């Protein structure tokens, strides 16, 4: 079977899964929907592996394969050539492997986690649809398919964030995510237009050839504008500043959703976009540098906020934002392989952390607040182990995978020189913050005096909420469809969850072996054909810089863990003391740097005011009053004038008849003369 | 007398009949005036038949007589029905079909 | 000689017409019309339409007018005035009629048809005789002939249906006093008045007012 056929099959199976689950949601049994969903993605993963093997069978020059299923709208030579085509090259195969692999494990986890929920089949339909959309996005061979996949992914994200649709907080969060994503969509489409103007084709390979052939020679402005607009799209999807405010709210969705969409796959779409468009970004250094700077700013801001969050899922969400900042910084600076390697390792350990968080949330019977959790270490050893593995990988402690990928990014950024040195330093500051907030979360939840739920669990009794409430605002809810189900699961008691988490823990621990400095370059070699035309592919950080980075990275990570240990474990009261000492900073961080308020002031209120004005003045006066009221009153007046003829008097009608007849005869008389 | 005389007489009778339709209020008399108009038409047709020399006009006039007879029958039946309902026999009062 | 007959017949026809319109009593109007019809028959004879003239006298004046007389007797004369109100209509009527007559006269007298000024085309003998009419009716005009007979049938049936007595359809005196001349229709039965908004259900709010208290915004 040819490579592209494998790739089409990768697309087919999740679509089939979504369709079957979606159409049969009333008829399928609980287990059936879960099995179909997981099997669909599992088959997709198998086909992705098949595509990988098949692709490696081609020689290195010919590893960019395009396959088109249908010509949607092809016009002439230099015009729109919109086809349903996919591009199979090392980058897309890499992405589909990551996406399908992690998705299979998350589906497996969801089979147990969502067990009690009344919307079980709907959940798997949506999840399969999401995976299908993400695969369309990364496999797309031209801008049209990319935009379609981008939009579908946004829609799937909305559907899944507001999965528990009877919760007001969830639906508001879904709308917020969707609106911000639409802003990104607009940027993406406009950017495509700017690029299409001079490249003459929507196809990726054609565009890259045109760019390298000098199609933008006199149109640098267009190219930079196009790339900046593409960045708007990337920032919205990847939750970078200033379009990041939707990601913490997106934690309203079920935990596996957060794990899949908002950690491993959807938010990495921006990174994929920049990596895919690297020929364009390299010719527009302004845009690439903007990406690097925004990535760096985001990783710092998100890290500081994560220090102060008390909802466990929000800590992990801001951590995601921060790590994506690293990836964006990497691909903005030109370190595509480093960024993509971190994408893969981050997918593993972040998905693992979210899964483990889901487990402990289950132990708390739905509660998510770190202030109420403590001392679960003895009650949930497996979950604790997963948290520790994920946390160590996230903090960048060797030999876990996060260490190698993060250091590769920072080493590359440092090797760029010039003002990139500032980003280099800030990257390590961010790594320190990462270690601190990660282990703050772990120490608070697992160490210390066991809380009531933990004590119950040690005696083998899983906590059960008498009255189900919304963890965000405490509103009371029931457990029918549209709200979470009555049962909560923990990893220790559910084999599918254990299997999924173990596999991810394995990946988080050992994936770093693929790209150990000085030892092997599996990822680089694999991705080389895609990035062979990049001017940064040859650039390698010097050995000294790499070694320095390895050492300093370890030191920073371990010192961060030590600081977290000191504040939250060794000296239990000191957290309050630190908070008091740094009060202004704490206030800034806990209010998320006031971004929500800023956006409310600058964007939301003017639009709402404009909407109200439109409704009160324009809609009421002009449209209803003049246009609609005017036309109806004209018609009414006209018809009442005409109605006056219908008097009912026979003689009146006869008179009209006679007058008319006389007029006709007069006409003929005059005409004939 | 040339044909023109007959046509003028026909026109005069037609106009008198039309005026009668407009002016009278008793439906019976209105029907009578309608008959006047039909007869005027008959006269015109017979005159033209004489002018052309073939009898097509006379046949037409015969058929018009048939139609007039039918119309009178039905119209009078209506008036009788109205009379039986004790409604006034006055077209100015019978005006329910109004807008 | 024919001119004299023409003038007498013409004056008779016109006098009868004016009598129909002007006479108060409908009975007299019918008699005036009979006179008019007989004059018209004379005019037909002058125009060599013997059969038609005979048909006019026998059928029209003889049968149709007799029918009329029966109905007029049944219904009675009534004591209506000509037009108590509606003098406007009189003016309009007069004006329209005069206009129409003027136009027709101009049409006839100013026409370019030469044949109008003649006495008529040369004709074969037997023109207008029953034989000629009959032959036309049964050959050239067979279809109208058949349709006319169908029309007669329909009219006969219609007359019977219209004028038969049905139970409950005639009002006695008490009900007649209670009945309005213009029977008001019940609300929402689909009158034109409702359709154009002249009558509306008082329970509905008037058009154009929106609820000020409706929630808006985020």
From C183, C179, C163, select the one nearest C171 (Cα to Cα): C179
Query: The complex's ipTM?
Result: 0.92
Residue of A nearest to B99 (CA): A646
Give contacts of C174 with chain B, Cβ < 8 Å: none
Instruction: Give the least confident one: A388-397, A627-636, C192-201.
Output: C192-201
Size of interface B-C (CB pairs under 8 A): 259
A129-166, pLDDT tens digit by residue?
Answer: 999 999 999 999 999 999 999 999 999 999 999 999 88
Asked whether the beta carbons of A454 and A580 are under 8 A apart, the reply is no
CB A394 within 8 A of CB A317: no
Q: Using CA atoms in the order A69, A265, A595, A407, what is the torsion angle rounded to 10 degrees? A: -120
How far apart are the C-alpha atoms of A92 and A95, rounded to whole Å? 5
Helix axes B56-84, C130-138, angle to 10 degrees: 80
Burial class of residue B13, CB neighbours in 10 A (0-12, 13-18, 19+): buried
How many residues appear in chain C?
A: 218
Q: Name subunits touching A (3+ CB pairs < 8 A).
A: B, C
- C-chain residues near A604 (CB < 8 A): 218
Q: At what angle do helices A495-510 and A336-363 cross, to 10 degrees?
A: 150
Give A29-50 pLDDT, tens digit per residue: 777 888 999 999 999 999 999 9
Residue predicted with more confidence, C87 or A330? A330
- Mutation for C interface: A623, A658, A670, most C CBs within 10 A: A658
From A138-142, B5-9, B66-70, C169-173, the region with the lowest mean pLDDT = C169-173
- Across A602-606, B23-27, C7-11, C123-127, least confident range: C123-127
Gap between the Cα atoms of C159 and A396, Å rounded: 108
Half-sphere exposure of residue A504: CA atoms within 13 angstroms, side-chain side? 41
Token pair 């010039």 is found at A418
Give the H or E element holding residue A68. strand A65-74
> Other C-beta atoms within 10 Å of A590: how many?
15
Tokens at residue A671, please?
């005409």
Which chain C residues are closer than 8 Å to A643 by Cβ? 192, 196
Residue linked to tokens 């709308």:
A175
Whether residues C49 and B71 touch (CB distance < 8 A) is answered with no
Measured in whole angstroms, how far is the alpha carbon of residue A188 from the centre of its chain? Answer: 15
Closest CB to A655: pick one of B22, B30, B97: B22
Cβ contacts of B97 on chain A, cutoff 8 Å: 646, 648
User: Residue A669: its chain C contacts at CB < 8 A?
Assistant: 103, 106-107
Which chain A residue has the Cα nearest residue C100? A662
**Model confidence, pTM:** 0.70
Looking at residue C85, its pLDDT comes to: 54
Scored b (16 or more CB within 10 A) or e, C79-88 reads ebeebeebee
Q: Which residue would you say has higher pLDDT here, A631 or C142?
A: C142
Query: Cβ contacts (< 8 Å) between C206 and chain A: which residues?
Result: none
CB within 8 Å: B77 and C163: yes
Please write the tens of the pLDDT for every residue from A53-91: 999 888 777 788 888 888 888 887 667 888 899 999 999
Is pLDDT of C214 > 50? no
Cβ–Cβ < 8 Å for A527, A90: yes
- B99–A658: do the CB atoms touch at under 8 Å? no
Chain B, nearest residue to A654 by Cα: B22
Interface residue of C21, C84, C100 to substitute, partner A, most A CBs within 10 Å: C100
* Range in A107-116, A524-533, C205-214 the model is least confident about: C205-214
* Exposed/middle/buried for residue A398 (C-beta within 10 Å: 0-12, 13-18, 19+): middle
**What pLDDT, on a 0 to 100 scale, did the predictor assign at position A459?**
83
Using 50, 70 and 90 to split pLDDT, how confident is the model at C192?
A: low
Answer whether A178's CB lies under 8 Å from A266's CB. no
List C-alpha distances in Å: B64 to A346, B19, B61.
101, 21, 5
Q: Please give the residue of chain C at the shortest CA–CA distance from B52.
A: C121
More reliable by pLDDT, C212 or A449 = A449
Q: Is the CB of residue A650 less than 8 Å away from at least one CB of chain B?
A: yes
Long-range contacts of C211-216, Cβ-Cβ distance < 8 Å, separation of 24 or more? C216/A612, C216/A615
What does the pLDDT read at residue C103?
85
- Residue of A641, A651, A665 to mutate, testing the B interface (most B Cβ within 10 Å of its Cβ): A651
Q: Which residue has the tokens 């239990």?
A: A572
Residue A594 CA to residue A631 CA, distance in Å, equals: 49
Scored b (16 or more CB within 10 A) or e, A461-497 reads ebbeeeebebbbeeeebeeeebbbbbebbbbbebebb
- Between CA B54 and CA B33 the distance in angstroms is 30
Distance from CA of C207 to the nearest CA of B (A): 22
Subunit contact A650:B98, Cβ cutoff 8 A: no
The set of residues, in sequence order, having a beta carbon less than 8 Å from that of C176 and lying 6+ positions away, is B86
- Max CA pair span of chain A: 120
What pLDDT score does C217 carry? 25
| Angstrom distance (rounded) from CA C42 to CA C52 | 10
Are the Cβ atoms of C103 and A662 closer than 8 angstroms? yes
d(CA B66, CA B21) in angstroms, rounded, equals 21
Contacts of A658 in chain C (CB under 8 A): 93, 96-97, 100
Contact C1/B at CB under 8 A: no
Question: How many angstroms separate the CA atoms of A102 and C115, rounded?
Answer: 106
C-alpha count within 13 angstroms, C-beta hemisphere, residue A417 = 5
């Amino acid at each position: 079977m040819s490579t592209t056929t494998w790739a089409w099959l990768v697309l087919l199976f999740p679509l089939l899964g979504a369709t079957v689950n979606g159409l049969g949601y009333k008829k399928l049994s609980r287990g059936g929907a879960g099995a179909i969903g997981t099997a669909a993605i599992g088959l997709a993963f198998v086909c992705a592996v098949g595509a990988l093997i098949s692709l490696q069978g081609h020689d290195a020059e010919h590893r960019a394969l395009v396959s088109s299923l249908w010509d949607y709208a092809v016009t002439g030579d230099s015009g729109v050539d919109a086809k349903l085509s996919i591009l199979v090259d090392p980058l897309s195969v890499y992405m589909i492997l990551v996406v399908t692999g992690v998705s299979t494990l998350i589906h497996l986890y969801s089979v147990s986690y969502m067990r009690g929920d009344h919307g079980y089949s709907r959940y798997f339909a949506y999840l399969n649809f999401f995976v299908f959309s993400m695969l369309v996005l990364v496999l797309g061979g031209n801008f049209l398919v990319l935009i379609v996949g981008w939009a579908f992914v946004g829609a799937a994200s909305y559907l899944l964030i507001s999965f528990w649709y009877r919760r007001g907080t969830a639906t508001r969060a879904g709308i917020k995510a969707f609106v911000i994503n639409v802003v990104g969509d607009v940027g993406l489409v406009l950017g495509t237009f700017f690029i299409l103007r001079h490249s003459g084709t929507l196809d990726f390979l054609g565009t890259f050839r045109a760019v390298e052939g000098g199609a933008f020679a006199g149109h640098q402005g267009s190219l930079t504008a196009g790339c900046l607009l593409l960045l708007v799209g990337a920032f919205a999807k990847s939750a970078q500043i200033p379009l990041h405010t939707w990601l913490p709210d997106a934690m309203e969705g079920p935990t596996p959703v957060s794990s899949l969409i908002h950690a491993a796959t959807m938010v990495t779409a921006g990174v994929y976009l920049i990596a895919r468009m690297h020929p364009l970004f390299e010719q527009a250094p302004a845009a690439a540098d903007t990406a690097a700077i925004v990535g760096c700013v985001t990783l710092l801001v998100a890290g500081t906020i994560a220090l102060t969050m008390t909802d466990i899922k929000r800590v992990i969400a801001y951590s995601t934002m921060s790590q994506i900042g690293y990836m964006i910084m990497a691909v903005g600076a030109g370190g595509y392989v480093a960024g993509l390697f971190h994408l893969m390792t981050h997918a593993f350990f972040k998905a693992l952390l979210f899964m483990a968080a889901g487990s402990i949330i289950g132990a708390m019977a739905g509660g998510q607040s770190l202030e109420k959790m403590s001392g679960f270490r003895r009650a949930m050893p497996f979950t604790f182990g997963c948290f520790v593995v994920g946390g160590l990988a996230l903090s960048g402690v060797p030999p876990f995978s996060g260490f190698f990928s993060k250091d590769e990014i920072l080493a590359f950024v440092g090797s760029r020189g010039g003002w990139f040195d500032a980003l280099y330093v800030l990257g390590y500051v961010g790594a320190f913050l990462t270690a601190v907030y990660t282990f703050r979360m772990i120490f608070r939840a697992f160490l210390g005096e066991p809380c009531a739920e933990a004590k119950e669990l040690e005696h083998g009794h899983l906590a059960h909420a008498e009255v189900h409430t919304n963890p965000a605002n405490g509103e009371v809810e029931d457990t029918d469809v549209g709200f979470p189900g009555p049962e909560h699961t923990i990893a220790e008691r559910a084999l599918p969850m254990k299997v999924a988490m173990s596999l991810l823990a394995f990946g988080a621990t050992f994936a770093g072996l693929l790209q150990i400095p000085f030892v092997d370059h599996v990822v680089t070699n694999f991705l080389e054909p895609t990035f062979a035309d990049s001017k940064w592919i040859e650039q390698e950080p010097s050995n000294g810089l790499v070694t320095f980075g390895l050492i300093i990275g370890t030191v920073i990570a371990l010192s961060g863990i030590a600081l977290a240990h000191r504040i939250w474990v060794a000296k239990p009261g000191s957290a309050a003391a630190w908070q008091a000492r740094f009060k202004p900073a704490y206030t800034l961080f806990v209010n998320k740097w006031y971004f929500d308020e800023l956006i409310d002031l600058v964007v939301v209120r003017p639009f709402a005011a404009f909407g109200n004005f439109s409704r009160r003045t324009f809609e009421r006066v002009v449209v209803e009053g003049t246009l609609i009221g005017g036309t109806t009153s004209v018609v009414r007046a006209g018809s009442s004038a005409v109605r006056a003829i219908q008097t009912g008097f026979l003689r009146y009608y006869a008179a009209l008849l006679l007058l008319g007849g006389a007029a006709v005869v007069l006409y003929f008389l005059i005409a004939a003369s | 007398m040339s044909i023109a005389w007959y046509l003028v007489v026909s026109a005069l009778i037609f106009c008198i009949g039309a005026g009668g339709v407009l002016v009278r209020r008793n439906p019976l008399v209105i029907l009578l005036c309608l008959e006047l108009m039909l007869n005027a038409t008959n006269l015109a047709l017979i005159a033209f038949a004489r002018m052309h020399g073939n009898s097509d006009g006379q046949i037409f006039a015969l058929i018009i007589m048939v139609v007039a007879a039918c119309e009178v029958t039905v119209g009078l039946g209506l008036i009788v029905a109205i009379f039986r309902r004790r409604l006034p026999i006055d077209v100015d009062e019978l005006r329910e079909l109004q807008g | 000689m024919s001119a004299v007959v023409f003038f007498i017949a013409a004056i008779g026809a016109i006098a009868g017409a004016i009598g129909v319109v002007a006479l108060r009593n409908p009975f007299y109007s019918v008699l005036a019309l009979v006179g008019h019809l007989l004059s018209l028959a004379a005019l037909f004879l002058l125009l060599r339409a013997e059969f038609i003239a005979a048909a006019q006298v026998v059928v029209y004046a003889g049968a149709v007018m007799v029918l009329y007389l029966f109905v007029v007797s049944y219904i009675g004369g009534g004591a209506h005035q000509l037009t108590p109100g509606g003098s406007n209509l009189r003016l309009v009527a007069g004006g329209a009629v005069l206009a129409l007559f003027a136009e027709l006269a101009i049409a006839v007298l100013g026409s370019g048809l030469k044949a109008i000024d003649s006495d008529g085309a040369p004709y074969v003998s037997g023109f207008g005789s029953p034989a000629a009419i009959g032959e036309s009716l049964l050959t050239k005009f067979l279809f109208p002939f058949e349709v006319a007979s169908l029309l007669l049938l329909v009219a006969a049936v219609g007359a019977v249906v219209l004028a038969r007595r049905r139970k409950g359809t005639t009002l006695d005196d008490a009900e007649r006093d209670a009945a309005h001349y213009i029977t008001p229709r019940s609300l929402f039965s689909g009158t034109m008045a409702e359709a154009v908004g002249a009558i509306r259900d008082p329970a509905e709010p008037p058009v154009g007012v929106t609820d000020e208290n409706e929630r808006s915004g985020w």
